Amino acid sequence: MKKHYDLIVIGSGPAGRSGALQAAKLKKSVLVVERGRQLGGVSVHTGTIPSKTLRETVMNLSGWRERSFYGRSYRVKEEIKAEDLKSRLLKTLDHEVDVLEHQFTRNRVEILMGEAKFVGTKGIEVTGNDGERSSFTADKFLITTGTRPFRPDYIPFNDVNVLDSDEIIELPRVPRSLVVIGAGVIGVEYATIMQALDVHVTLIEPRDSFLDFIDKTMIQEFTHEMREHGIDLRLGSSVSDVECKDDMVHVSLENGRQVSAEMLLFAAGRMGATDNLGLDACRLETDHRGRIKVDSKTYQSAVPHIYAAGDVIGFPSLASTSLQQGRVAACHALDEPTLKQSPWFPYGIYSVPEMSTCGMSEEEVQERKIPYEVGVARFRETSRGHIMGLENGMLKMLVSLKTRRLLGVQIMGEGATELIHIAQAVLNLKGTVDYFIENTFNYPTLAEAYKIAGMNAWNKMPKPDLSE
């Protein structure tokens, strides 16, 4: 193992992975330091992949997708246990880690398992998982240490029935009832996935609204779906106390009400994982949530040879954007020109039903005072929707009246996170509503909803000049 590298990457989640691989492709010497037991970060071990695998398992074993045909009591497996959920998870994670290890080895990326700490502006010390210490220097550094769950003192976390968003994936058993505190993306995903398992879920959010970056009409539809399936949604409810007694968790709300459940998931916020990183030694500061400030295009920090990418820099904190950021940061650090980033990226919320958006919401269009028209399609209007027995699902499209350009698309329902990429392409290629009218779509597909929503908007808009 060398003592000096062109680039040292701290953390092996999506941002670290793509940064390291990009640097290796540029024939640079790269060391990745990872303090976890395995490579992959939050994304592979406690966040993205485990929660999406859990969702897939629940959707399959519960027979959720078939219930509109066979009734709400239909199940593929009568009693779904924690072991059923875990077995698919372990296989998926093993596969993910194996692919990542192979990518690193194939590309000659060196790996050291241990915790990295800056000891100067150009040097780190790594305490190996075996306790051994070693020092390294590099020309450039990429910090991709991600986040850890926020754990406030008033929540009695206990690894058994009061869990944070990293621990829930180790689900000791499937509870009969669950309280989720925090209706952010993670809270909403777990609340709806657990509800699909017939767990009685109460979702508590101190604010009066949730997922504010999504179009209000879409959230209204989604809220209706959640309530329809039995989720008890308590908005505007702050928690004053949490107590564990007699195998139950009792949550007291400031409005005087109390909620009791077998298990509690606290999913209100995450903090940048920077506390043990020795940032003082390299003269870097963080904000109150442990996040590092960087240039939004190059990911360069206030110390020019140190870059940071992924969740540790804050918004949007997605695996998808972290992958992009890591690669761009490595290119900039190593003086390699790279393409400009497209303005619009999608958000995927893997709730049940899932949601995905790209571009502006109706509220944003109104704020910017852009004259616009709306096109809506319901999945039950599509033949594919009939075949699949879909009872919910909609696509909403916003179009500029002035330029006819697509401004944003919001989708709720089966396949939303895949379907959204059509919107993303049209948005980033500056396409207009006419695209959906001119083009033929496969039939029967859910993508046909674009055509229907496009027609719906088009029919309400002044017609383009078709004389040529």
> Which residues here bind ligand FAD, judged by CB under 6 A?
10-16, 33-36, 41-43, 47-48, 51-52, 115-116, 144-147, 165, 186, 273, 276-277, 310-312, 317-320, 322, 348, 350
Q: Minimum distance between the CB of residue 364 and ligand FAD, rounded to whole angstroms?
A: 21
Q: Minimum distance between the CB of residue 273 and ligand FAD, rounded to whole angstroms?
A: 4
Q: Minimum distance between the CB of residue 450 and ligand FAD, rounded to whole angstroms?
A: 23
Closest CA to 149 of 192, 194, 113, 182: 182
- Residue closer to ligand FAD by CB (options 202, 356) is 356
- Residue closer to ligand FAD by CB (options 15, 178) is 15
- Residue closer to ligand FAD by CB (options 211, 365) is 211
Q: Minimum distance between the CB of residue 254 and ligand FAD, rounded to whole angstroms?
A: 27
- Residue closer to ligand FAD by CB (options 239, 267) is 267
- Token pair listed for 51: 């929660």
- Residue closer to ligand FAD by CB (options 48, 400) is 48
Q: Minimum distance between the CB of residue 397 and ligand FAD, rounded to whole angstroms?
A: 23
- Residue closer to ligand FAD by CB (options 265, 457) is 265
- Residue closer to ligand FAD by CB (options 399, 416) is 416
Q: Minimum distance between the CB of residue 194 and ligand FAD, rounded to whole angstroms?
A: 13
Q: Minimum distance between the CB of residue 234 and ligand FAD, rounded to whole angstroms?
A: 21
Q: Minimum distance between the CB of residue 312 and ligand FAD, rounded to whole angstroms?
A: 6
- Burial (0-12, 13-18, 19+ Cβ within 10 Å), 313: buried
**With b meaning 16 or more CB within 10 Å and e meaning fewer, what string describes 415-424?**
bbbebbebbb
- Residue closer to ligand FAD by CB (options 326, 393) is 326
Contacting residues for 313 by C-beta, under 8 A, at least 6 apart: 291, 292, 293, 294, 299, 325
- Residue closer to ligand FAD by CB (options 147, 410) is 147
94 φ, ψ to 5°?
-55, -40
- Residue closer to ligand FAD by CB (options 136, 350) is 350
Contact 141, 307 (CB under 8 A): yes
Q: Minimum distance between the CB of residue 413 and ligand FAD, rounded to whole angstroms?
A: 17
| CA distances to 169, 180, 242, 257 from 155, in Å | 18, 12, 6, 17
Q: How far is CA 221 from the centre of its chain?
A: 21
Q: Minimum distance between the CB of residue 59 and ligand FAD, rounded to whole angstroms?
A: 15
Q: Minimum distance between the CB of residue 134 and ligand FAD, rounded to whole angstroms?
A: 13
Q: Minimum distance between the CB of residue 320 and ligand FAD, rounded to whole angstroms?
A: 4
- Residue closer to ligand FAD by CB (options 51, 432) is 51
Contacting residues for 463 by C-beta, under 8 A, at least 6 apart: none
